[in-house]
A = this chain, B = another copy of it.
């Protein structure tokens, strides 16, 4: 909620761009800002829409292209929701991890790989595969949404 948080995150994204040799153009800064301002997962259309509401003009292709480079830089990651549709989330580029996503509000948290690595290894060995990549995505109700629901439905008669 505090804007400074987003400013920092915007800066982090911009720096990642520059570090990788991309120009930090106004458009890319804009996308960085929009991305940083999301409290959870988002789509290209979302960004476009929010840009439009702010009266800033940016091409659709440009947004997709920006997301493309941010994805390559692992600053955002594209994930598949249980519904089967896609969404992007901002992401810590520095170490391998997975995502825990609130099915209600869309909030997303990074989850350390932890013991999963060992488990994956084991599966590979058992099946004789040389495993190259894996993907783990967790979906559920975040504490805030759970709290909100409890208030609405106190006690829970189930």
Q: A residues engaging B (CB < 8 A)? A: 78, 80, 82, 84, 100, 102-103, 109, 111, 114-116, 119-120, 123-124, 127-143, 146
Whether A133 lies near B141 (C-beta < 8 A) is no
Cα distance A103–B135 in the bound complex, in angstroms:
14
Cα distance A138–B135 in the bound complex, in angstroms:
7
Whether A134 lies near B123 (C-beta < 8 A) is no
Q: Give which listed residue, B124, B130, B139, contacts A134 with CB less than 8 A.
A: B139
Cα distance A129–B119 in the bound complex, in angstroms:
22
Q: Give which listed residue, B80, B129, B143, contacts A128 with CB less than 8 A.
A: B143
- The distance from the CB of A129 to the nearest CB of chain B, in whole angstroms, is 4
Whether A111 lies near B134 (C-beta < 8 A) is no
Q: For A103, list chain B residues within 8 Å (CB).
A: 132
